[in-house]
Amino acid sequence: MDTAHGHPKFFDNVSRYFDRAAALTDHPKGLLEQIKVCNSVYSFQFPIRTSRGMEVISGWRVQHSHHKLPVKGGIRFSEDANEDEVKALAALMTYKCAVMDVPFGGAKGGVQIDPKKYTVEELERITRRYTTELIKKNFIGPGIDVPAPDYGTGAREMSWIADTYGTFHPGQIDALACVTGKPVSQGGVRGRFEATGRGVFYGLLEACSHEDDMKKIGLSKGLAGKSVVVQGLGNVGYHAALYCQQHGAVITGLAEYEGAIFNEKGLDVDAVVKHRKEAGSILNFPGAVNLADRADALELECDILIPAALENQITGENAPRIRAKIVAEAANGPTTASAEDILMTKNVMVIPDIYLNAGGVTVSYFEWLKNLSHVRFGRMGKRFEQTTNENLLRLVEESTGRKLTDGEIKTVARGADEIDLVNSGLQETMITGYQQIREIWRSNDQIPNLRTAAFINAIDKVATCYGELGIFP
């Protein structure tokens, strides 16, 4: 139920999605309950010295499901962070990892601060102290719980976490795998920074490739040429918009904190970012129309609406006015369950967050693997691959009599580097993930949409895992 503020409690909303799917499975009630609840909720307060004096900061780490270890999920720095939000986001991580066959349970962390109000030194102190609180309770470690970036945090915070953990665990050879989303120089993997947005793009590409699905919502096949509105130009929204644009989609609307802009003919994403940096606002971008209210962007007519900001953006209140054909959930929990009911009556296709924004955690998994194997992807095979390909090309030259240019040989023979492998692993995971949930959706008329299909997929996988653990056999 939506509350007096018009929003459901976030964890309740996730539970509503869960219950809808669970009702279509035949798992025992106790098992479903065990999958749904949060296994560990750690809430703590710690003091920090700032230029304004001592401050007490609230932090959380929630481990939603221990069916697989480590558990995994980002850390959010936000003034609005609270226990309900962290629980909901941790639950979404469990389902996300299960849908994508990323072998982790779900977790999430939150620190209730507005990072913009603190200096870099203060943020470092807060991050290191938060990490120490996790260490004290054994809530972090390569095989226990592995944080990552989320709203308000990035590679810088992750390197502070890795360094703090490493300091408390001298000589632990796998210590760097205690956190992902690190800078590449600190054990990060190439491609992690842009991974969530890139995953959104791959997911959309796959969804739009099914002609019959597109026909049902009045669209033609393919992403190129489609009009796209993006809410949020942070890391996820920016990269999703950029890759869609590079593929030939037309970005007609962009919304940020201070307002929104629209241009039917298309907005150049990088030019808008540059303008925002210089002017301090997205508004008054040359050739674009300013929208009175940033929330109006959600109601623009378009083929694809990408909410890439925060939860509870499309609610029972504004859902009747949504004019997109596809809602592509790049954020976590942007659509409430009541909104989804309305969108369904309007024949809007929702591509759910637990599938669509899973690119981040997928590449986090690759980073974790890299840290545990202590070798860069591609290091062992790249040169061998290249030499083999060159030898093959020489044979082709000999047998055809056609001399290949150095440029041709370079492009065709090239061995795969870390970034190539990461992107190809991400694309493969996004394609397979979509096909799995689409097949479930199509297999049974009772399954109303892709979200319920994704939840069924996740529930079945977690249930199988509990079965194989000997719990709830």
Q: Which of 269, 314, 361, 453 binds ligand GLU (CB under 6 A)?
A: 361
Counting contacts by CB under 6 A, is residue 334 touching ligand GLU? no
Best CA proximity match to 229, nearest among 321, 306, 325, 315 = 306
Q: How far is the CB of 385 from ligand GLU (least distance, A)?
A: 29
Active-site entry in 36, 68, 72, 108: 108
* Binding test (CB under 6 A) with ligand GLU, winner from 7, 20, 68, 72: 72
Q: Does residue 188 belong to the site contacting ligand GLU (CB under 6 A)?
A: no
Q: How far is the CB of 79 from ligand GLU (least distance, A)?
A: 18
Is residue 454 a contact residue for ligand GLU (CB under 6 A)? no
426: left (phi over 0), alpha (psi -120 to 50) or beta: alpha
Distance CA 353, CA 199 (A): 11
Judge contact between 413 and 389, C-beta under 8 A.
Answer: yes
Is 259 a binder of ligand GLU (CB under 6 A)? no
Q: Is 135 exposed, middle or buried (0-12, 13-18, 19+ CB in 10 A)?
A: middle
**Pick 282 or 361: Cβ nearer ligand GLU:** 361
At 306, phi and psi to the nearest 5? -110, 95
Positions of E strands within 183-231: 227-231
Q: Which is nearer to ligand GLU, 66 or 210 (CB)?
A: 66
Q: What is the dihedral of CA 68, 143, 100, 91, to 10 degrees?
A: 60
Per CB under 6 A, 433 contacts ligand GLU: no
Give the number of other Cβ atoms within 10 Å of residue 344's Cβ: 15
CB 293 within 8 A of CB 217: no
Smallest distance from the beta carbon of 272 to ligand GLU, in angstroms? 24
Per CB under 6 A, does 197 bind ligand GLU? no
Nearest of 230, 195, 226, 194 to residue 208 by alpha carbon: 226
Does the protein bind ligand GLU through residue 7 (CB under 6 A)? no
Phi, psi of 468 (to 5 degrees): -70, -20
Whether the CB-CB separation of 14 and 91 falls below 8 Å is answered with: yes
Is-contact 426 359, C-beta < 8 A? yes
User: Contacts with ligand GLU in 212-251 (CB under 6 A)?
Assistant: none
Q: Which is nearer to ligand GLU, 315 or 364 (CB)?
A: 364
| 148 vs 269, beta carbon nearer ligand GLU | 148
Region binding ligand GLU by CB under 6 A among candidate stretches 60-68, 69-77, 203-211, 306-314: 69-77
**Which span sits near ligand GLU by CB under 6 A: 42-50, 68-76, 419-427, 448-456?**
68-76
* 108 a catalytic residue: yes
User: How far, in Å, CA of 172 to CA of 166, rounded?
Assistant: 8
Among 122, 145, 150, 163, contact with ligand GLU (rule: CB under 6 A): 150
73: contact with ligand GLU by CB under 6 A:
yes
Is residue 65 within 8 Å of 33, Cβ to Cβ? no
- Find the shortest distance in angstroms from Cβ 277 to ligand GLU: 25
Q: Does 148 bind ligand GLU (CB under 6 A)?
A: yes
Q: Binders of ligand GLU: how many residues, by CB under 6 A?
A: 11
62 scored as a contact of ligand GLU (CB under 6 A): no
* Interacting residue ranges for ligand GLU, rule: CB under 6 A: 72-74, 148, 150, 180, 332, 357, 360-361, 364
Residues designated catalytic: 108
